[in-house]
Amino acid sequence: MYSKKVKYKGFDGHDVEEVVRLNLTKAEVLNLDMKYEDYGGLIGYYRKMVTDIKEGEASWRPYVSFLQSVILAAYGKRTEDGRFIKKINGVPLSEEFETSEAYAALLIPLLSEEGIQELEPMMLGIFPDMDEGEYEKGKEQVKADLGLTE
């Protein structure tokens, strides 16, 4: 799990501090990975993004939607009993979060030269512990479930 304290001005003008929590389950990682398979998966796309930006080969524009999709897929809240939830009554918490100042306070700083340094700890923090064999087995299962096996 990745936690980040963000600060922003509330609608009433007061300073607000909020802890944003991001986490992906193994199944979520595998499903996101399929979207970026042409780039070597989710991590491959992330590495390409960081390399391109650091080397001045690309702007942030093509990568904003990548960051948004990862952040929104990973957003949730910790319950009092220690679980991590992403929906309440079937409604994704990310729907409300996406329109919040907390979301802007998390996303916008990442879209800078300094912010790129925070991307790696964020990405590593939201990923569950998976060994290579477990990951490959899960990836094959997702492909089979989607009817993508040869």
Tokens 């994704």 appear where? Answer: 92
d(CA 2, CA 121): 8
Which pLDDT score, from 0 to 100, does residue 64 have? Answer: 87
In the predicted model, is pLDDT for residue 136 greater than 70? no
Six token digits for residue 128: 């569950």
Average pLDDT, the chain: 84
Encode pLDDT of 55-108 as tens digits.
876 667 778 888 999 999 999 999 999 889 998 888 899 999 999 999 999 999
CA 2 to each of CA 50, 67, 87: distance values in angstroms, whole numbers, following the listed order: 19, 14, 18
